[in-house]
Amino acid sequence: MRLSCLSPRRLAAVTLCLLGAFTSAALAQTVNINPNTTYQTIRGFGGMNGAGWIPDLTPAQVETAFGNGSGQMGLSIMRMRIDPDRAKWPTQLPSAQRARALGATLFATPWTPPAAWKSNNSLINGGSLLSSRYGDYAGHLLSFASYMSSGNAALYAISLQNEPDYAPDYESCRWTAGEFVNFLRSQGSRFNGIRVIAPEALGFNKALSDPMLNDSTAVQHVDIIGGHLYGTSPSDYPLARSRGKELWMTEHFTDNTDANNWTAAMPVARELHSSMVSNYSAYVWWYIRRSYGLLTEAGTISKRGHVMAQFAKHVRPGFVRIAATEKPHSDVFVTAYKNSAGRLVVVAINTGTSQRRLVLTLQAGSARSIVKTRTTATHSNEFAGTYAVSGGRATAFVDPGSVNTFVSQKVRSAGRIPDLRRCGRKSERA
């Protein structure tokens, strides 16, 4: 085509189209995905069931939270409380049974030992576990695990204490690093049938966990280094990983803003991303159902829940995080995962105000197409296009203020493959 033969109007249109294509290509950034470089194994994403403190989840809400079908969140971990009064343990059983039947991993945390075993003879305001009661306390925790197992809700792991570095005026107990070491030395061998989580510190306080990791006896009896993110940000813990321990983020909520406020939901996505690149194997929100929770008080999935679902529905237990370009744009954050069958999952978060173009590079033959779902202020974990993979590359867009999940498909999807060639324009429906 000779541009000199075009009318001024036609020439302007062609120039605009070519300029758009050039600009879009110039802004495209490559995400290199390397399944041969692996990091942590993912155990799952979940939340706390507050039965005993707030009304229990209903059967329908358990299905919504832990099911993985249409309109469900795909959570795979339920955290629960160990009441100091064993007569109240049945409160935890119904929802735990339902979640376990859906394939969820269960773990439990005590907020306090029975008052008579503590230095302040109280369930609240801290106090510490008397060393003379270490055996009784280990038996208490193991009895809870046995009770749950007998009710078809077997625990995967059990924690020794919630936030041992905090003494609020509700159920609590203080532990020092030395007390954890002494407890594990004397009682740790009794937990050989269940994984032990410690220390679940308020801000992932490594000063509480370093000593147990460096003690030749105590380190044998702790399996998971758990911590919370209050007052801190996710960070790697090389010492724990060098000792063969998984890292679990076992409690956080970013703020108590309405869970459907999209501006407040996006930081949850960023924290999930940061937790994954910090080698955390699990991420557990505070209450599953709350005004600021993953479910609203009415039991519907909130925007925060849909953000969690972008990970939880697709990055299933047993997936392994793999190498991927983490920041292809200054405002785009990417992680990638694979399972044993070779399925690839890529999660891309765009915190900016502009649409971004990504070129995903895959190993040859690993996929014929990728399917995208997205959550934005106006979309909630919705299908957003199927993209062809050609020559090990697929090109896709991520909208401003969005969380996007790309899942590889061995067989070409029946959905329409977007035409990505037309003047570099967005090729999916808004």
Cite the active site residues.
Answer: 163, 251
Task: Provide CB contacts within 8 A for 314, sequence distance 6+.
Answer: 74, 345, 347, 373, 405, 407
Q: Which of 155, 152, 73 is nearest to 107 (CA)?
A: 155
Kindly tell me the number of DSSP H helices and DSSP E strands found in the chain.
9, 17
**Three-point CA angle 266, 269, 275, nearest 5°:** 145
Q: Would you say 272 and 348 are in contact if contact means Cβ atoms under 8 Å apart?
A: no
Q: Which amino acid is at 50?
A: G
* One-character DSSP codes across 294-350: SB-TTS-B-HHHHHHHHHHTTS-TT-EEEEE-S-SBTTEEEEEEE-TT--EEEEEEE
8 phi and psi, to 5 degrees?
A: -55, -40
- CB atoms near residue 366 (< 10 Å): 16
- CB atoms near residue 395 (< 10 Å): 21
Task: Provide CB contacts within 8 A for 29, sequence distance 6+.
Answer: 325, 328, 329, 332, 356, 357, 358, 359
Compute the distance between CA of residue 365 and CA of residue 403 in angstroms, rounded to an integer.
Answer: 26
Compute the distance between CA of residue 311 and CA of residue 419 in angstroms, rounded to an integer.
Answer: 27
For residue 395, the surrounding DSSP H or E stretch is strand 393-398
